[in-house]
Structure 1
Amino acid sequence: MAPRRRDPDRRDQIVAAAVEVITESGPHALTHRAAAARAGVPLGSTTYHFADLEELLGAALLAVAERNVARLRRWASSLAPEADLAVELADFLVLLSTRHRQSSVVAYELYSAALRRPGLRAASTAWDAMLTEVFAPHVPDPAALTAMFDGLLHQALVSPTRVTRETFEPSLRRVLTS
């Protein structure tokens, strides 16, 4: 009998598949079976890598948050020293709520799921910590900016109207100058 080969990327494949399931149908649609089918792996692989659904949801939330924060880090590193941060952040919020809408919606669906699922809270607070870390070099109160950013993006995602820079800039300017 040949020895079993271990696939070192299998856990990441399952997490990526879980994110795809959530993207298509929402967090309620995620099951071990759905993730395994999407990843093309045996069902036992999902239960081997994730003790329960909370752990799989937490891993998916962290993966989405890390991807979105990586986008934010690229944005922050591209800022010119003389940039108007209120304008730049407003434009970035527009980008997240339009071109990257699907990824932003998934992040907030998972973030909101933590309200009723304590197992997801560590991953959702990690998202806030990562945002605060990215904002820290640019503002004196990064926690306030994180809260504002989260709230404005959430509002943009649920708004029935298309958002623009002007939607966000005045509020951002107030928090940045206080």
Structure 2
Amino acid sequence: MTVQLWEPESDADTIHPPTFAAVTFVLLVAVIAQVSVIARLPLPGGGPDLVLMLLATAALVLGPVNGAVLGFVTGLFGDLLSTHVLGQTTLVFLLVGYLVGLVADATERSAVIALAAVSGAVAVGIVADVAVAALLGADGLSSPGHTVVRALAAALYAALLTPFLFPVFTAGVRRTKRVGRR
């Protein structure tokens, strides 16, 4: 049995300026919150990756093109706030946003698929970030075992938080689209 989370729209890849601006703002604030607050919390497994959760949710709601653009903007902002190679997070977030958006377009929208897509995107995003860093020759990378544990813990956090985040996010997107049509 599948539960409809929202009605599919014919203009899934159309960028509505108020919606795009609002989602971009939320993602940029999430980057700052992730770096300054969440990363410092003593949670088991390293804690949730709020940015990847929100990016995956945005890609599910707004489609692959919007997901890729949001991933690029968010990743670039994250890269500018970090000390690693510029473009590392941008590449990973762009790909995560696009691929999760494709999953949303190719499948029937249900709570189980949304939960699996967001949790999987978080895990894949963390592993991909470490893989890209290794390809770029970064020093001080964590061990593969630690990376897998971190990815699984973040995916578990995403699975626990997505049922609360997803409905709020979709309601906010609907609201900004209604405001943009006035």
Q: TM-score range by the shorter chain?
A: 0.3 to 0.5
TM-score by length of 2: 0.43
Q: Larger Rg: 1 or 2?
A: 1
User: Normalising by structure 1, what TM-score?
Assistant: 0.44
